[in-house]
Amino acid sequence: MPSIRHVDPQLRRDVRLLGRLLGEVLIEQEGQALFDLEERVRRLAIQRRRGPKLERRAAASELAALLREMPLERAEPVLRAFSTYFRLANLAEQHHRIRRTREHASGGFQGQFQRGSLDAVMQSLRQAGIPASRVREMIVSMRVTLTLTAHPTQAARRTVLQKVYRLARLLEERDRGHLTPRERADTLASMREEITALWQTDELRRERPTVGDEVKNVLWYVEEVLAEQLALMPETLDWAFERAYGEPLGVLATPVRLHSWVGGDMDGNPLVTPEVLADTLRAHRARGLRALLGEVYRLGWVLTQAEPHAFVSKELRASLEKDATDLPEVMARYGSRTTGEPWRRKLRFMEARLQAALEYVEGRRAGRTEPLAPSAYRSPMEMLRDLEILERSLVDAKSRHAGLRQVRRLIARVRVMGFHLAELEARAPAEDARSAAASLEGGPAPTEGGARLLAVLQRVREAQAESGEGCCRTLILSMASTAEDVLAAFTCARKSGLWDEARGCATVDVVPLFEQLGALDDGPRVLRELFAHPEYRKHLQARGVQEVMVGYSDSGKEVGLLAASAALYRAQTALTRVAHEAGVQLRLFHGRGETVARGGGPAHEAILALPPGSVAGSYKATEQGEALDHKYARPELARRTLELVLSGVLLHSLDAQPRVAAEEETPFRAAFDELAELGRKAYRGLVWEDPNFVPFFQAATPIEEIAALPIGSRPSKRAAGGLESLRAIPWVFAWTQNRAILPGWFGVGTALEEYGSRPEGLAQLKRMYRQWPFFRTVIDNVAMVLAKSDMAIASRYAALAPDSTRPLWERIRAEYSRTRRWVKRVTGEARILESNRQLRESISLRNPYVDPMSFLQVELLRRKRAGAANIDRPLLLTLAGIAAGMRNTG
């Protein structure tokens, strides 16, 4: 491997090791000639970015010529080599993140706590003078919900990811252990074997995944990683709290909840049928029960206390007597084996109740109609009662240090996940709810979407009757814009039997999703109308909260980054105020994507940048399918992600973060609204008003090829049509592929220049950047996108477009240069990302490897559009490889 400049030595070591092993695999599997070709391509890509300008241009020309002449049979292994390298580089970076977190936790870095960690935040709260009692109250009442989604451009196969996970464990073993020479050699040999197997595995799916495949994919992260981390969260909170305040937290509860859209999101996905949703609910329950069976079985090897040596409480004895009566077959089978071991006997009864519940669910999935056995657990509350008996009995038996902690972890898990692992949510277009409600009230027959919604609500009613309301109790209305949309869904729920007569409310929460500029601005009016509706207001009083989802994706595609950011900030401020005035608790649901153009960016900073009062102990956000791997693939990454979110919510809710002075906020917001309008005009003028834009977009990006990629169950468009029907995710994916990443910055430069050129304008922008977290977050995210963009490569894609679009491309290039120039002026930095060394290193590490794939993708697009055959597979390899190299798809 060549020298990797400006990269942390430990990360450099790992990348070199993995790169060397990959080189050995390439020579063994494909021959020296292929390896030499790959090395020549890589060296040219490096030279393209280093040295004098003339030498860089010459390297770029030589690289383009080499790839242009490359036959297809050589192109594919070269592409696979670079794509595999990215997987290994991503793995090394993940491992380095974990290493840094452990060094912080071990007292490294001059004893400083890691920024955003719960340790750091608890210390900040104490130093800010916030008393322990107030922090404790906030943690008790706080609720953070992460909603997992399937990403329609999720580019990685589970088979490939599994191999990368095994490599991750080998890296950890090599890094942490004091290994003997034989053990180090064995670890290295195992790594080599995994990389060889990775090379011999097809990274492309043979067919588009089903919804069921996506359900299994998402639940893997829950079962393998998140379940344990959420069970440990009470201890993590207690540890950080006690270190800061010198007293135990005393709160054994996990404030995080997991929800999922996978299998319930009907918006634009005809494959999510009522039958699919019903089966998803049962799949959640079956997998959750199986996981709990495993946990209870393992607990049996911990709670081995025998009666002569440990006190057995009367409550536990009475519970065992009742179990023996209810489950005589279990008593007959295990009674003699567990004589004198009451805790083990109790766990055997609990296993039997879980098994009976599981057999019922599996029977229903198989089409059988046998009733639930009387001995089965009907709800998580029944299991919790048994676990709490165990907890109290262990305290009475002086077993605080002999299994109590493990029981409490299981209690935490059941409280968080119940029997379902993740609570399923349903999503449907608002127009489907209007059609369905009209048909129920004597109007015309419902549309196909309306009929599907009514059938889905029936399935939700059956599921709630079968396993409790907690399995599915949220209905999201996409593209909602009026109170009538919400009331229509409310009517559908009531008439479908999703109704609690005693409380006078529906058993689902209807959540409007405001995602376009007009809907965001009208959102406060919609809430006022809903709060004034007598029946709906009674429903809210019983439910306790009105949830509103704000969409970051479609608004950005519609009006550009600045105008969407301003509209979202205005909407959240106004929605919070309206709910407060009405005495209704509001929960804002942030529909963020992974990219900046879709509301992405560092989670901790994003939470701190939210309007004052808009969090108040409650935070809910989507977690996109493409983000799951680098946030939750390994326990340490998951723990760090959860801590960043929780610490942000704590700081915001307790008002302990830096805030702009009240007298400054009004002029700052007015200034940002001006910037937003300037940016909106520039963005709309290009994307929606220039007649050459759509032909340019279709030719200068691989958007048509993306639609053919078998990587998600959901189509790339909501319906037939042009740019307006294209989903925001493939919109951003296409611009990421051609390296322009236009949605993340276009219009920003024009707005900053026009405002900053006014008298005192630049000084005001600099003040806003220094003092206002919201503005600083927006500008920092734009800077990140600018650093990842490469307009020289994007120019090669632009050359695929008709000559008539050349002036449009020059406008784009000019705006990019303008945005870079003005972002640097506002931040005061001499170069983009000057203060973010880690991100700069990450980008510089990847660029020499992603660039050849971009060059080759341009050539493949040219050949395909000229009618060449057998282009699809190598082209799909470039799409997946560039996605891995850029670290996001959309």
- Nearest CA-CA partner of 471 in 463, 479, 483: 463
- The count of other CB atoms within 10 Å of the CB of residue 352 is 24
- Check whether 579 has a pLDDT greater than 60: yes
* Least confident among 45-49, 151-155, 859-863: 151-155
Q: Mean per-residue pLDDT for 777-798?
A: 94
Note the pLDDT tens digit of each residue in 584-613. 999 999 987 665 544 446 788 889 999 999
The answer for 479, left when phi > 0, alpha when psi is -120 to 50, beta otherwise, is left
Highest-confidence segment of 540-549, 602-611, 626-635, 850-859: 540-549
Q: What is the pLDDT of residue 887?
A: 65
User: Measured at the alpha carbon of residue 655, what is the angle toward residues 651 and 657, in degrees to the nearest 5?
Assistant: 60
Give me the sign of the Cα torsion angle 139, 145, 146, 148.
Answer: positive
Report the C-alpha dihedral over residues 701, 707, 710, 711, rounded to 10 degrees.
70
pTM of the model: 0.91
- What's the whole-number mean pLDDT along residues 176-188? 88
175 band by pLDDT with thresholds 50, 70 and 90: confident
Between 561 and 657, residue with greater pLDDT: 561
Catalogue the active-site residues.
151, 557
DSSP state of 655: T
Partnered with residue 845 across adjacent β-strands are: none
How far apart, in whole angstroms, are the C-alpha atoms of residue 409 and residue 404?
9
- pLDDT for 1 equals 38
Residue 134: partners with Cβ closer than 8 Å, 6 or more residues away: 654
Q: Mind listing the pLDDT tens digit for each residue in 247-260?
A: 999 877 789 999 99
pLDDT digits (tens, 9 = 90+) for 90-120: 888 888 888 888 888 877 556 688 889 999 9
Q: Assign 506 a pLDDT band (cuts: 50, 70, 90).
A: very high
pLDDT tens digits, one per residue of 471-491: 999 999 999 999 999 999 999
How many residues in total does the chain contain? 890
Give tens-digit pLDDT for 764-773. Answer: 999 999 999 9
Q: Can you give the C-alpha Rg of the chain in angstroms?
A: 28
Nearest to 610 by CA among 773, 784, 783, 781: 773
Say which range, 1-15, 54-68, 401-415, 530-544, has the weakest mean pLDDT: 1-15
Are the C-beta atoms of 743 and 726 separated by less than 8 Å? no
Q: Among 45-49, 263-267, 489-493, which is the least confidently predicted range?
A: 45-49
Quick one: average pLDDT of 82-90?
85
Which residue in this structure is represented by tokens 């965001």?
A: 520
Cα–Cα distance for residue pair 748/565, rounded to 1 Å: 12
pLDDT at 680: 96
Percent of the chain with pLDDT over 70: 94
Highest-confidence range of 91-95, 138-142, 623-627, by mean pLDDT? 138-142
Question: 256 - beta bridge partners?
Answer: 144
CB distance 607 to 646 below 8 Å: no
Cβ burial, residue 372 (10 Å; 0-12/13-18/19+) = middle
Q: Which of 560-564, 652-656, 882-886 has the lowest mean pLDDT?
A: 882-886
pLDDT at 810: 97
DSSP codes of every residue in 195-208: HHHHHTS--S-SSP
pLDDT at 4: 43
Confidence at residue 176, expressed as pLDDT on a 0 to 100 scale: 74
- 862/70 Cα distance (integer angstroms): 13
Of 73, 91, 79, 90, the residue nearest 204 (C-alpha): 79
Query: Token digits for 16?
Result: 């070199």
d(CA 491, CA 510): 10
Q: Which residues have CB under 8 Å from 50's CB, separation 6+?
A: 56
Mapping DSSP to helix (H, G, I), strand (E, B) and coil, where does residue 517 land? helix
pLDDT value at 532 more than 70: yes
Cβ neighbors of 498 (< 8 A, separation 6 or more) are 457, 460, 461, 464, 506, 507, 508
Mean pLDDT for 209-218 is 87
Q: Which two tokens stand for residue 801?
A: 């477009």
d(C-alpha 839, C-alpha 780), whole Å: 12
* Three-state secondary structure of 319-386: HHHHHHHHCHHHHHHHCCCCCCCHHHHHHHHHHHHHHHHHHHHHHHHCCCCCCCCCCCCCCHHHHHHH
Task: Say yes or no to pLDDT of 30 above 80.
Answer: yes
- Using pLDDT thresholds of 50, 70 and 90, give the confidence band for residue 83: confident
Using CA atoms, how far apart are residues 879 and 800, in angstroms rounded to an integer?
17
Q: What's the confidence (pLDDT) of residue 719?
A: 55
Residue 518, Cβ neighbours under 10 Å: how many?
A: 12
Give the containing element (helix H, strand E) for 511: strand 509-514
Q: How many CB atoms lie within 10 A of CB 293?
A: 17
Pick from 327-331, 554-558, 635-639, 652-656: least confident: 554-558
For residue 732, give the nearest of 748, 716, 710 by alpha carbon.
716
In the chain the first and final C-alpha atoms are separated, in Å, by 31
Q: How far apart are CA 48 and CA 61, in angstroms?
A: 9
Closest to 781 measured CA to CA, from 751, 815, 821, 745: 745
Average pLDDT, the chain: 90
Please compute the mean of the pLDDT values over residues 303-319 and round it to a whole number: 94
Contact 8, 96 (CB under 8 A): yes
Q: Rounded to whole angstroms, how far apart are CA atoms 146 and 623? A: 6
Is residue 485 packed enough to be buried (19+ CB in 10 Å), middle (13-18) or exposed (0-12)? buried
The one-character DSSP state at 223 is I
Using the predicted structure, report yes or no on whether residue 62 has a pLDDT greater than 60: yes
Per-residue pLDDT of 371-424, as tens digits, reads 999 999 999 999 999 999 999 999 999 999 999 999 999 999 999 999 999 999
Q: What are phi and psi of 471, to 5 degrees?
A: -70, -35
